[in-house]
């Protein structure tokens, strides 16, 4: 048995195992997005969906031998990174707004307490 024959046996099996593992990961990420208690959990889930999709495309590229899929995966990875940065910035702005609103409420409560005393 030559090395090429061994590769012809192992690579299809490894591709099926990789697809099954990625499918399981995809389902778990969907569950995390659905049940995520915070917005940050959901953003992390969306980032993981992008990463899992890039991995799917990589496995398909290996399976089919078409190198154009690698370019698609790189593009999707870049777009996913930019989306994650945008969501993180959105979360940061939301937290600052929530913090400012809570400070205003506390100041209003203190003023009301001082006015009634």
Q: Which of 102, 94, 54, 59 is nearest to 76 (CA)?
A: 54
Helices 68-116 and 39-64, axial angle in degrees (round to 10): 180
Predicted TM-score (pTM) of this structure = 0.78
Give the span between the Cα atoms of 2 and 91, in whole angstroms.
55
Predicted local distance difference test score (pLDDT) of residue 54: 97
Give the span between the Cα atoms of 58 and 71, in whole angstroms.
10
Structure-token pair, residue 100: 């400012």
Predicted local distance difference test score (pLDDT) of residue 45: 92
Domain boundaries, the chain: 3-116
| Full pLDDT tens readout for the chain, 117 residues | 899 999 889 999 999 999 999 999 999 999 999 998 888 889 999 999 999 999 999 999 999 999 999 999 999 999 999 999 999 899 889 888 888 877 777 776 666 666 665
Predicted local distance difference test score (pLDDT) of residue 110: 66
Predicted local distance difference test score (pLDDT) of residue 71: 95
Predicted local distance difference test score (pLDDT) of residue 116: 61
CA–CA distances in Å: residue 51 to residues 6, 22, 44, 84:
30, 10, 10, 11
Instruction: Write down the architecture of domain 3-116 according to CATH.
Output: Orthogonal Bundle (1.10)
Predicted local distance difference test score (pLDDT) of residue 98: 80
């Amino acid at each position: 048995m030559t090395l090429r024959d061994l590769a012809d046996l192992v690579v299809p099996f490894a591709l099926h195992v990789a697809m099954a593992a990625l499918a399981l990961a995809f389902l778990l990420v969907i569950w995390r997005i659905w049940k995520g208690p915070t917005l940050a959990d959901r953003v992390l889930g969306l980032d993981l969906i992008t990463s899992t999709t890039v991995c799917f495309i990589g496995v398909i590229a290996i399976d089919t031998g078409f190198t154009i899929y690698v370019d698609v995966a790189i593009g999707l990875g870049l777009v996913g990174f930019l989306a994650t940065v945008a969501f993180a910035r959105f979360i940061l702005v939301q937290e600052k707004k929530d913090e400012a609103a809570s400070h205003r409420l506390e100041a209003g409560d203190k003023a009301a307490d001082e006015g009634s005393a």
